[in-house]
Chains A and B, each alone.
Chain A
Amino acid sequence: MDTMAAIKQTFFQECEEQLVELESGLLALEDGTSEPDTINAVFRAVHSIKGGAGAFGLEQLVRFAHAFETALDLVRGGKLTATRAILKTMLSAADVLADLVRITREDGVADDAEITRMVQQLEAISHGGAAAAGSQPADAEPADDLDFVPIQISLADLIGAGPSGTRSFKIRFEPKTGFYARANEPLVMLREISRLGAMRVTCDQTRLPSLTELDPEGAYLAWEIHLDTESDESALRDIFEFVEFDCDISIEEKQVEADFDTDAFAQLMSLASGQTPPMAQPLEPRTEQIAAEIASRNESETANRKSDANKGFNQAGATIRVDLERVERLIDLVGELVINQAMLSQRVAEARIARSSALAMGLDELEQLSREIQDSVMAIRAQPVKPIFQRMSRVVREAADMTGKSVTLHCDGDSTEVDKTVIERLTDPLTHMIRNAIDHGIEKPEVRLAAGKPESGHIRLAAMHRSGRVVIEVSDDGGGINRERVRSAAIAKGLIEPEAQLSDEEIDNLIFLPGFSTAATVTDMSGRGVGMDVVKRSIQALGGRISIASTPGRGSTFVMSLPLTLAVLDGMIVSVADETLIVPLTAIVETLKPSTGDIYHMGGDSRVIRIRDTFVPLIDIGHVLGYRNKLADPQNCVVVLIDLEGHARRALLVDTIQGQRQVVIKSLEANYRRVDGIAAATILGDGRVALILDVDAVVENANGKAASSASESLDLDHDTHARAPQRAHDFATELEPEPVE
């Protein structure tokens, strides 16, 4: 039962891959970038799902896949032209198929009505296409067999029509190289056929070259099979169903008497065709032997052939499927190794061993090596963003249908690789951003035409690597953010003061505030419960940032910057009130030693520092985190200038800077819970735990503290829990500088 469950698991994993293949193929057909082989790949994908589903007795899946396959087969055979409308139906069918696979996997019950509806649509396509092509409906194979009808009749005439019941078939089975490469075995095929009735096999070795020219991986043998059976042709076809791409098969039916001597018949046949009789009987043992040999060779060379076959058929490299748990275990272990190595280095340094000594040099090499191992292990988990981008095309289709807008999706850089854990947690934010873009961004077709834009809206999804992070952009060519409405909505919700002076950028950033929702534009789609604040929070939880740029009438662009992995981080190690903290390096702009004259008190605990003629709020980390009650004296401190989302800057006050290094990220939530202001933890060289600062959260906390402790209010203290846009705060402080107290 366990083995069965494991096989089933593998089947569903493969289904996922087939579904991706299917969707990308259909999309390629739709935008005209398809290659001749694309339709075959699409067909194969559905066919494989059907095959696997059949093996597990998943009737609903088989039924649906069959209807889908039938329609695809007509396109493949050139009997049906894949028009836009047909491709649209097929893409919807692919969506339904994906749902069905998912539901089946979770042992759920699919909505039969929807499936039946889709099946009917597919059947309508099939029938329509077949009728248009003027040939027999649906099944392509019987149509091909019509060619053989005259032969059947003539044979029947020759030997006299026998009583029905037992039928006799002549089958020619000629495997190609791919047949063996996919670990198929002729012997198994033959055995299956023999189960249907009395069988005689002749091996055709005419194509067998001399030993010197023999390609060990080639396919040279063919078999002629005479079968007397009570089954019909479809039972025979079923045997070959999964290898039909990899071999040539012809099946002829001869109408003979039930007790007809097949040997005599064979001789009669050859006489009729003027050939010497085939020596069927003596060859038979050899046939078995050769088949067995081929089978054994198969086993030993399957691996090689499989990779070759993959190159030929899927253009994919050799891959292995590994349980994610194993990879995670490996990553954990390598993390330990890196920590251990750091501890060792520290001990050596403490022992005052010369840097030039063999020991220290050996340790340096070890460090290099552990870094490389770590990078390689991380690379195992790195995956291209393509699957998630592809999933977005479905989101676009559905959202466009729901809003009655016409939208196309364009993806760039979908081969950009990111850690699997990051990818997994990107789906929800991306889905919501795309829905938002279609719902609020892209205008109705008539509005677009009136504005001189193409009728169809355009959404671009792009991924790229930029300075050790991955940047993902979602842009639309819609109307851009309606700042008037956003502003009035924010005032109505009490998120900003009516008289607040906000720049365009600040207004745009208001949409990230919790509780912000432009009620007038809520539709059933974006009314699904999550707002942009949730998107922002989930991106932040990934250690990422999100910003927005919008041009009225031209569209909006959301830019997300994410870490490549959630396992390691480059950080600056700082000391604050005897504690060691890690500040993520990506946030840091510069570090500087403040001079007393540059610090200005703004009342309460608020201070700003002048850095080259701009005033930047100064945040005492030790104070915000509660490590000390009194504000630190900047004179004995170092300032770390950081960049927040939306390019706002803050100056963090720390005691000393110890250095920079890569640290392994350890979750605090695993054994404890989330801690405000802290992103995660790590283990230092001395074995102690150090906390990694969540820069944005610390700044928000500091805003709260400053607002609640300040004697006079700035612009946003009516609710200290409302996260006001940082820029708004900046702006106000810059505009109304208070005299030094």
Chain B
Amino acid sequence: MSEKVESSSSRELIAFRIDGREFCVDIMQVRDIRGWTPATPLPHSPAYVRGVINLRGAVLPVIDMATRLGFAPTEPTVRHVIMVTQVEQQIIGLLVDAVSDILTVTEADIQPTPDLASELAKTFVRGVLAIDGRMISLIALDHVLPAREALAA
């Protein structure tokens, strides 16, 4: 849980909404934001993997962030968006309700995740931010995809 503080200089985060809650990721990880297009479902995949889509010739998985974070599954409409993010060498699409804001914060603004957070939240939430009286959770994307080695049965 110990997030390394790299520097006190400011960083930009991109905020998005899922089921009325707000989350954010580092803007450097976001490559593209596009409207929802139907994904091709993958057999034997976890419920939070909506399937795969074609992004300019590359095949990338789309993760329903609501399901991944333990909320009710998203019923995607044309108003939903896919945030195309880069996690290490892989490109992953994140299905979210909407992109809401771009935040400029310093490391000092990021508060540690409250202790009472669930195990699931601990896996993804790297800290919380208080912006204009709202709480926004900073998400780390490292564990969003299922582990590579483990094949679904």
- Asked if A466 lies at the interface with its beta carbon under 8 angstroms from chain B, I say no
Picked from B53, B145, B152, the residue with its CB within 8 Å of the CB of A689 is: B53
A671 engages B42 (CB within 8 Å): no
B42 engages A670 (CB within 8 Å): no
Picked from A580, A626, A683, the residue with its CB within 8 Å of the CB of B43 is: A626
Within 8 A of A (CB), among B99-144: none
Distance of B38 from chain A, by nearest CB (Å)? 7
B148 engages A675 (CB within 8 Å): no
Stretch among A256-264, A332-340, A545-553, A639-647 lining the B interface: A332-340
Distance of B41 from chain A, by nearest CB (Å)? 7
Distance of B121 from chain A, by nearest CB (Å)? 24
Residue of B nearest to A621 (CB): B43
B45 engages A675 (CB within 8 Å): yes
B43 engages A689 (CB within 8 Å): no
Picked from A336, A670, A691, the residue with its CB within 8 Å of the CB of B40 is: A691
Distance in angstroms between the alpha carbons of A674 and B43 in the assembled complex: 11
- Asked if B8 lies at the interface with its beta carbon under 8 angstroms from chain A, I say no
- Asked if B94 lies at the interface with its beta carbon under 8 angstroms from chain A, I say no
Distance in angstroms between the alpha carbons of A490 and B103 in the assembled complex: 64
- The interface residues of chain A lying within 8 Å CB-to-CB of B41 are 579, 627
Counting chain B CB atoms within 10 Å of each CB, the highest count among A677, A689, A690, A691 belongs to A689
Distance in angstroms between the alpha carbons of A678 and B40 in the assembled complex: 13
A672 engages B54 (CB within 8 Å): no
Picked from B51, B90, B146, B151, the residue with its CB within 8 Å of the CB of A671 is: B90
B43 engages A676 (CB within 8 Å): yes
Distance of B147 from chain A, by nearest CB (Å)? 8
Within 8 A of B (CB), among A656-680: 666-668, 670-678
A668 engages B59 (CB within 8 Å): yes
- Asked if B92 lies at the interface with its beta carbon under 8 angstroms from chain A, I say yes
Residue of A nearest to B40 (CB): A689
- The interface residues of chain B lying within 8 Å CB-to-CB of A677 are 43-44
- The interface residues of chain A lying within 8 Å CB-to-CB of B52 are 668, 672, 681, 689
Interface residues on A, range: 20 to 34
- Asked whether A688 and B54 contact (CB < 8 A) given A670-B90, A671-B92, A673-B145, the answer is yes
Distance in angstroms between the alpha carbons of A681 and B52 in the assembled complex: 9
Distance of B79 from chain A, by nearest CB (Å)? 20
Residue of B nearest to A672 (CB): B61
Distance of B151 from chain A, by nearest CB (Å)? 6
- Asked whether A579 and B54 contact (CB < 8 A) given A672-B60, A674-B151, A683-B59, the answer is no
- Asked if A687 lies at the interface with its beta carbon under 8 angstroms from chain B, I say yes
A676 engages B152 (CB within 8 Å): yes
Distance of A160 from chain B, by nearest CB (Å)? 79
Distance in angstroms between the alpha carbons of A691 and B92 in the assembled complex: 18
- Asked if A426 lies at the interface with its beta carbon under 8 angstroms from chain B, I say no
Distance in angstroms between the alpha carbons of A339 and B58 in the assembled complex: 12
Distance in angstroms between the alpha carbons of A626 and B44 in the assembled complex: 7
Distance of A370 from chain B, by nearest CB (Å)? 14
Distance of B50 from chain A, by nearest CB (Å)? 12
- Asked if B20 lies at the interface with its beta carbon under 8 angstroms from chain A, I say no
- Asked if B14 lies at the interface with its beta carbon under 8 angstroms from chain A, I say no
Residue of B nearest to A680 (CB): B59
A666 engages B43 (CB within 8 Å): no
- Asked if A395 lies at the interface with its beta carbon under 8 angstroms from chain B, I say no
- Asked if A625 lies at the interface with its beta carbon under 8 angstroms from chain B, I say yes
Within 8 A of A (CB), among B49-105: 49, 51-54, 56-61, 90-92
Distance of B61 from chain A, by nearest CB (Å)? 4
Within 8 A of B (CB), among A300-348: 332, 335-336, 339
Distance of A213 from chain B, by nearest CB (Å)? 59
Distance in angstroms between the alpha carbons of A319 and B49 in the assembled complex: 47
- Asked whether A673 and B146 contact (CB < 8 A) given A681-B59, A683-B57, A687-B54, the answer is yes
- The interface residues of chain A lying within 8 Å CB-to-CB of B45 are 675
- Asked whether A678 and B43 contact (CB < 8 A) given A672-B52, A689-B52, the answer is yes
A335 engages B44 (CB within 8 Å): no
Residue of A nearest to B150 (CB): A673
- The interface residues of chain B lying within 8 Å CB-to-CB of A666 are 57-59
Residue of B nearest to A691 (CB): B40
Residue of A nearest to B53 (CB): A689
Distance of B146 from chain A, by nearest CB (Å)? 7
Distance in angstroms between the alpha carbons of A673 and B59 in the assembled complex: 11
Cβ contacts A to B, 16 pairs, < 8 Å: A336-B57, A626-B44, A667-B59, A668-B42, A670-B90, A671-B58, A671-B91, A671-B92, A672-B52, A672-B145, A673-B148, A677-B43, A678-B43, A681-B52, A688-B54, A689-B53
Query: A residues touching B (Cβ–Cβ < 8 Å)?
Result: 332, 335-336, 339, 579-580, 625-627, 666-668, 670-678, 681, 683, 687-691
- What are the 7 tightest A-B residue pairs by CB atom distance, in nearest-first order? A625-B43, A689-B40, A671-B60, A672-B61, A666-B59, A681-B59, A671-B90
